[in-house]
Chains A and B, each alone.
Chain A
Amino acid sequence: MIEVVHVSKHFSNETVLKDITVTFERGKTNLVIGQSGSGKTVLLKCIVGLLEVDEGDIIYDGVVFNKLNFKDKKSIRKEIGMLFQGGALFDSLTVEENIIYPMDMFTRMTTEEKKERANFCLKRVNMENSNHLYPDELSGGMKKRVAIARAIALNPKYLFCDEPNSGLDPKTSIVIDKLILELTEEFNMTTIVNTHDMNSVMEIGSKVVFIANGMKCWEGTNREILHSDNQVLNDFIFANSLAKHVKNTIKN
């Protein structure tokens, strides 16, 4: 379980997050939704400690993460897998080397064990036999899948995904979403996914947090969204006329 307590964050000229308090539960795919530029990535980076919070606390299963020193943070980071928006695979390394990298940093596994684990992870995301390709030889969806394989390489307790579907076609998006959902349940992880993709919300959003203008505006399950009266949320979710029509039909 990850708790975000009264977190604020500002950059030199603007306030991006204002007093956000939210709880993300274990074994669930928690979704953070909001317009592009609303601060989803900043929130995620504050949670994993890539950005320092200005106020408030980030609590991992009872441990106040943002107050830890570098060494103790590292022991929690070992439990974190993160999927970045563009994949963020290391260009100069092959697919296999990319997946082995976190094992090199955190463990004392032998070369054999590392390769075996890498193959297992690749198989899990249906990317077997791509071990010796370089990231620029892969398509967008393949990159994301390799990035997921890298994120789960160390069997993390926490999985973070920043816009896992951005730049992907709807069908590939669903494959990635399903993969995230399955992995979350399989390994009982606490998963947080940033997205602005409504298909994902409906497919995998067991808990949805809506952020607008840096504030938490709404939270609930994907089913509850259909019945919500929150105007800002409705404007965001049911942006096109077809969706508006669906919503009205449900209501009546």
Chain B
Amino acid sequence: MGLFFHVGKYYELMLKVFTKPEKRIMYYRQTVREMEALGLNSVGIVLIISVFMGAVITLQTAYNTENPFLPSYLIGLGCRDSMILEFSSTMVALILAGKVGSNIASELGTMRVTEQIDALEIMGVNSASYLILPKIIACILVFPLLTLFSMVVGVAGGWLAVVFTRVITPTDFIYGIQYAFIPFYITYSVIKMVVFAFLITSISSYYGYYSYGGSLEVGVSSTRAVVHSSVFILLFNVILTQLILS
């Protein structure tokens, strides 16, 4: 019952969000602003996490495959493929669900409980579309770039780990990351991220937009936004992998 209620209301909200904008210029300005607020401001956290994860994946692969029959360049390959296939999209999306999702939900929730959304509606603005559409578009445009960025710095993190610890020679690592490279994996990851970007922004917007009450409820909305976005990211990760890679 509760689930159907939410799905129906979410769908209704999305219909309102995707109506034709009236004052295009205001949407354009808003989208650029959101690209900066939601996308560019996340570069730092993506950088840090990717570098460290790349390094750890490399070290763990190295210490768990001390079999002389396995060529050591496979460690570079392992780091590359883990980063490209899973980490740069799914894991980064989960991190962004925490950062961007809570940000969106609390911003919209605050606007709701302080009646700023009502004020917009009174002025004849389609508040759902005006507030949410720019966020969705901004994230769909910027998050895939963060995925590409994460791939590059993640592999670089693996390389740094190799350089500092010498578990294998850097030359082997470099050979490994070029070995049997499948460009389609990058496409696959980017497609996933586009879907995740939509899930994060729309689900978080839903919880923020329909907050009711005071600051306490805004906190609750923001928690729900993060939890539910994360669950849907994991679910769609399985679905998309089956659809795209099978």
Chain A nearest CB, measured from B135 CB (Å): 14
A77-94 interface bits toward B, Cβ cutoff 8 Å, 1 = contact, 0 = none: 110101011101111000
Indicate if the CB atoms of A86 and B124 lie closer than 8 Å.
no
Would A77 and B118 be within 8 Å (CB), given that A104-B23, A104-B26 are in contact? Answer: no
- Pull 16 A–B residue pairs with CB atoms less than 8 Å apart, ordered by A: A48-B122, A74-B124, A77-B123, A80-B122, A84-B115, A84-B118, A84-B119, A85-B115, A86-B115, A88-B115, A90-B116, A91-B111, A91-B116, A105-B124, A105-B125, A106-B124
Q: B110 — which chain A residues lie within 8 A by C-beta?
A: 91
Kindly state whether residue A56 has any CB partner on chain B within 8 Å: no
User: Does any Cβ of B come within 8 Å of A26's Cβ?
Assistant: no
In order of increasing CB-CB distance, the 9 nearest A-B pairs are: A88-B115, A84-B115, A74-B124, A88-B119, A105-B123, A102-B123, A77-B124, A88-B116, A82-B122
A119: min CB distance to chain B, Å: 20
Question: B36 near A: Cβ within 8 Å?
Answer: no
B121 interface hit (Cβ, 8 Å): yes
Total interface residues in chain A, CB < 8 Å: 21
Does B169 make an interface contact (CB < 8 A)?
A: no
* Least CB separation from A162: chain B residue: B115
Separation of A74 and B120 alpha carbons in the complex (Å): 12
B114's closest neighbor in chain A, by CB?
A86
Tell me whether A78 and B116 are in contact (CB under 8 A).
no
What distance in Å separates the Cβ of A94 from its nearest Cβ neighbour in chain B? 15
Cα A106 to Cα B22 with chains together (Å): 11
A84 to B111, CA, bound (A): 12
Chain A residues with CB below 8 A from B121, complex form: 50
Within 8 A of B (CB), among A99-116: 101-102, 104-106
| Residue among A48, A50, A74, A105 with most chain B CB within 10 A | A105
For A77, list chain B residues within 8 Å (CB).
122-124
Q: Which residues of B contact A80 (CB under 8 A)?
A: 122
Contact B125 A90 (CB under 8 A): no
